[in-house]
Amino acid sequence: MTLVISKFRKDSPKETREKLCEVDFTFDTTTRSYAAGFDGIDIPGEARMSIQVTCTEPAAYFSMAVLQGGNNIINIAAALKNYAHAMIYLASGYYLEIQIERERLQKAGA
C-alpha cells in the first residue's frame, strides 16, 4: 500500500505539479493495521502540513487526517477497495493531492 502526496497550482497544474512524497505503509502486527505518514508538506503561503493514514485489514477501512499548523483541516474515514483520492484546495491557490493505492497491499498479503 502506498501513499502519494503532490501539490500543484490551480492556474497551471501541469507546469507546477510536484510530487512531495511516496511512502509505503508499514504493518503493525499487534493492531493488524497499516500506517503511513509524512510531516514535510510545504506549500508557499501555507503553514506546514502533515498527514497520517491508517488502514485496517481485512476490512480495509482507512482513516486519513491532514494537520496544518496544529489544526485538523481534513479527516476522512472510508472503505478502501483499491484506490482513494482526495484533493484539498488551499487559500494560497494550490491543491494538495493525496492518493492511496491498495494494489501493493494486496500483492504483499499474497
Q: What angle do CA 36, 108, 30 make, to 5 degrees?
A: 55
Task: Examine the pLDDT at 56 and tell me if it is beyond 90.
Answer: no
Are 52 and 30 contacting, i.e. CB atoms less than 8 angstroms apart? Answer: no
Cell of 11: 492556474
Bigger pLDDT: 86 or 105? 86
Residues 1, 63, 29, 24, CA torsion sign: positive
Q: What percent of the chain has pLDDT over 70?
A: 91
Considering only CA atoms, which of 2, 96, 104 is closest in space to residue 45? 96
- The predicted structure's pLDDT at residue 110: 46
Alpha carbons 81 and 79: distance in angstroms, whole number: 6
The string of pLDDT tens digits covering residues 29-42 is: 888 899 999 998 99
pLDDT at 106: 52
- The count of domains in the chain is 1
CA distance 26 to 54: 9
The CB density around residue 38, as the number of other CB atoms within 10 Å, is 18
Tens-place pLDDT, residues 67-96: 998 889 989 988 888 888 899 999 999 999
Range of the domain at 52: 2-109
Average pLDDT over the chain, rounded to an integer: 88
pLDDT of residue 24: 93
